[in-house]
Amino acid sequence: MWCDDMSSYLEMSKEELEALKKDLEKKYEEMKALGLQLDMSRGKPSTAQLNISMDMFDVLNSKSDMHAENGLDCRNYGGLDGIPEAKKLMADVLDTTPDHVIIFGNASLTIMYDTVSRAYSHGLLGNTPWCKLDKVKFLCPVPGYDRHFAITEHFGIEMIPVPMKEDGPDMDMIEKLVSTDEAIKGIWCVPKYANPTGISYSDEVVKRFANLKPAAKDFRLFWDNAYVMHHLYEDKHDEILDILSECEKAGNPNMVFEFTSTSKVSFPGGGISVMASSIANLDEARKQMNIQIISHDKINQLRHVRYFKDAEGLKKKMMQHAAEMRPKFEATLEILDRELSDAGIGKWTNPNGGYFISFDALSGCAKAIVQKCKEAGVTLTGAGATFPYKNDPEDSNIRIAPSYPTAEQMAQATEIFVLCTKLVSIDKILADK
Amino acid sequence: MWCDDMSSYLEMSKEELEALKKDLEKKYEEMKALGLQLDMSRGKPSTAQLNISMDMFDVLNSKSDMHAENGLDCRNYGGLDGIPEAKKLMADVLDTTPDHVIIFGNASLTIMYDTVSRAYSHGLLGNTPWCKLDKVKFLCPVPGYDRHFAITEHFGIEMIPVPMKEDGPDMDMIEKLVSTDEAIKGIWCVPKYANPTGISYSDEVVKRFANLKPAAKDFRLFWDNAYVMHHLYEDKHDEILDILSECEKAGNPNMVFEFTSTSKVSFPGGGISVMASSIANLDEARKQMNIQIISHDKINQLRHVRYFKDAEGLKKKMMQHAAEMRPKFEATLEILDRELSDAGIGKWTNPNGGYFISFDALSGCAKAIVQKCKEAGVTLTGAGATFPYKNDPEDSNIRIAPSYPTAEQMAQATEIFVLCTKLVSIDKILADK
């Protein structure tokens, strides 16, 4: 997964490095003079991707029958937890059954926030509300997703970083912490094509998650399966085990909340989202939802189901997205490979799906690289953003999001990125000499 | 507003009442035998109303330009607090300016819930989070909206009923309570065509609200202007003062959160919602929203604005809704008038707008009337639902929702309702004799 032949720059003499630096600085000034404005900061679909599902807006018109298959008029109140055909679609996507899902609004982030908020104010399945406890902690595999960390930070929850390994987070560490510390109430997971590493959890990791023996009765896996369908290649698909059935088998049926949405399938902000969990957890969620809302947008649910038809239809659309995304990843990776694979000043991931490439620079270099890129017109996610409290103790990780620019722009941006990485790394190596 | 000539039944002799009862019972059994299934329990638009805006689904299609007027692609992330044209539309509806509004998702109920939830977990403008206080109280004008009361009950907030008068809630009581009790943090208000009385607050009431001197610095008016455009008649429109500018003038700019939505204009569950407040309150809300969501459904915002065009367009649509609603209100009121205005066993409201008629039966009769109606196939909102904790101390108030059935069905349902009211009242009077 990681391309990490860290050698060459570190073996160069001071004089060699200084000569190289001079040469690179010239190139950097030339690049800077181009006045580029390139953004690879967020996992945002490109305009070409948004065009893929434009015909979704032809699916419903003034002549359409607006009834769900259970006879519910999607234009009126009712249907708190979603229309049956939307439940079926999203259950199939998550490899579970419709009774294990609730369809929500346009954003799975909101389901996650609301679930934490509900645990905070009311507690989960009869356990003490988190707001009444002195201390609540969450485990945070790192590098991870900044918006996850923002939720737990917002609720004053202490976040403990857990390193990511090749096949998922460090399970030895997780098992030890979760089984001994009752204050640990949850963990943020992106189990497939993780944000930002692109790593997918191995079967063994999923099983170890399902078999955790938490000290806290209300410990929960916040299983954000955001990229469940986001393959990059036709022939290389990561697959992960269904966490719900694994938790059930392990006697921990209530231990997981799984989330996903169609945000990057249909439209960001215009899609539908889903939570999958045990019946007991969903019943509790429905009880609270019934206070918060009468129903989510069932018309949009209907629009999505009539458009995609089934999980197969959805997967086919995802291959169109993959065709847009792949050249950008390839352009980025080709330049990283060509320019850095022998330099020993960075390692990066080469994922089969998802939205990101994770890059680890030499310790202490990430912030400076991001800053130097910015000065040359390339915006990256802020260094540190992939860690709780935006604090990357190594100042090493940088998240590269290739989706929004064109492949040509990504190539340009990556050229600048490698230039900046080289320059900052040389300074670092020289300073350390 | 109230038709309350309470005389005749109370003046009848035991024998007269018993004879009448016998006659009415026969009619009731005949009605029951019809096996009707009529629902006047919820403020739910009829199918004919849902058809009014069906051509909204022709507004966007696969060829549409999906950019907002500020250039934002509505299909992508961004635009946390709404697209400018949606802000303008909803600001005009609420008689305020776009900088005073945030556009939310499909349900104003969710904004209210989330606002209470935020106050509970994080506090408002630097004040102590409500979850850290021993006691939090809300004032609840009664009869009122059950879903408001459900929110405050859910958060363990003590609810204090405040009687409704002809021109709004009892302001003497409110002023006294709010100025002396620091635990009182809010009040639920439906200022126009109130649910369920249909009463609109007089200018004096609105000004007294704006000029409250609350003991609690974080006291807020939860001003649910749900029926701001929901007139029933072309020529009789209640108008209320803009609470935001009144609060500003009174030196209480942060004291109000105002809400509305297009749920009963376009589609319940498929509309757009709005919160209006001071910049300081909105900034705080945005800060929290930024953790909870990336953006609401901007495509649906765009669809609504392109369809309604402006507040005038929206008001015109509302007159089509009024044309659907009016005959149902008139059919109901005509029968109530004919059958009960001389009976002295009930009084009811005759509103200029909104979705409800509020009926006050003799003390101790409401539950029995609702039950008797149910047995004859007419579903009403549960008695007591219009009071906090579903507890109407007089067991008197019944909410009638004429929107969903046809005018003919409403006439039938009302015939049964008056029959049941008469029968239950006679039993009550006989028992008291």
Residue of A nearest to B303 (CA): A57
Residue of B nearest to A114 (CA): B292
Q: What angle do CA B11, B15, B21 make, to 5 degrees?
A: 90
Please enumerate in sequence order all residues whose Cβ is within 8 A of that of A12, keeping only pairs 6 or more positions apart, or say none.
A20, A429
Q: pLDDT digits over B314-359, tens only?
A: 999 999 999 999 999 999 999 999 999 989 999 999 999 999 999 9
Number of A to B CB contacts under 8 A, please give it: 157
- The closest alpha carbon to A110, from A82, A147, A142, belongs to A147
Q: Is the pLDDT of residue B2 over 70?
A: no
Contacts of B61 in chain A (CB under 8 A): 57-58, 61
**Predicted local confidence at residue B3, as pLDDT:** 39
Binning chain A into helix, strand and coil, the percentages to the nearest 5 are 45, 15, 40
ipTM confidence: 0.96
- Is the pTM value of this prediction over 0.90? yes
Residues A374 and A398: their CA atoms lie apart, in Å, by 13
Q: CB atoms < 10 A from the CB of B330, how many?
A: 16
The torsion angles phi and psi of B105, rounded to 5 degrees, stand at -85, -145
| Residue in A64, A120, A268 closest to B77 by CB | A268
Question: A60 and B60: CB-CB below 8 Å?
Answer: no
Q: pLDDT digits over B79-110, tens only?
A: 999 999 999 999 999 999 999 999 999 999 99
Which is it for strands B378-380 and B168-169: parallel, antiparallel or unpaired? unpaired
Contacts of B298 in chain A (CB under 8 A): 269-270
**Predicted local confidence at residue A433, as pLDDT:** 84
- pLDDT < 70 positions in chain A: 1-7
Q: pLDDT digits over B405-431, tens only?
A: 999 999 999 999 999 999 999 999 999
Measured CA to CA in angstroms, residue B72 lies from A406, A420, A421, B38, B77 at distances of: 18, 31, 33, 47, 9
Residue of B nearest to A108 (CA): B293
Question: A294 and B268: CB-CB below 8 Å?
Answer: yes
Assigned token pair, A31: 């690049």
Closest CA–CA distance from residue A96 to any residue of chain B (Å): 26
| Residue in B268, B270, B296 closest to A269 by CB | B296
**Predicted local confidence at residue B7, as pLDDT:** 53
Residues A66 and A74: their CA atoms lie apart, in Å, by 6
Q: Is the pLDDT of residue B4 over 80?
A: no
Q: Is the pLDDT of residue B289 over 90?
A: yes
**Predicted local confidence at residue B15, as pLDDT:** 94
Confidence tier at B292 by pLDDT (50, 70, 90): very high
**Predicted local confidence at residue A8, as pLDDT:** 87
**Predicted local confidence at residue B42, as pLDDT:** 87
Residues B161 and A14: their CA atoms lie apart, in Å, by 80
- The closest alpha carbon to A124, from A288, A297, A343, A312, belongs to A288
Residue of A nearest to B66 (CA): A54
**Predicted local confidence at residue B256, as pLDDT:** 98
B275: which strand partners?
B102, B259
Confidence tier at B1 by pLDDT (50, 70, 90): very low
Interface test with B, best of A293, A303, A307 (most B CBs within 10 A): A293
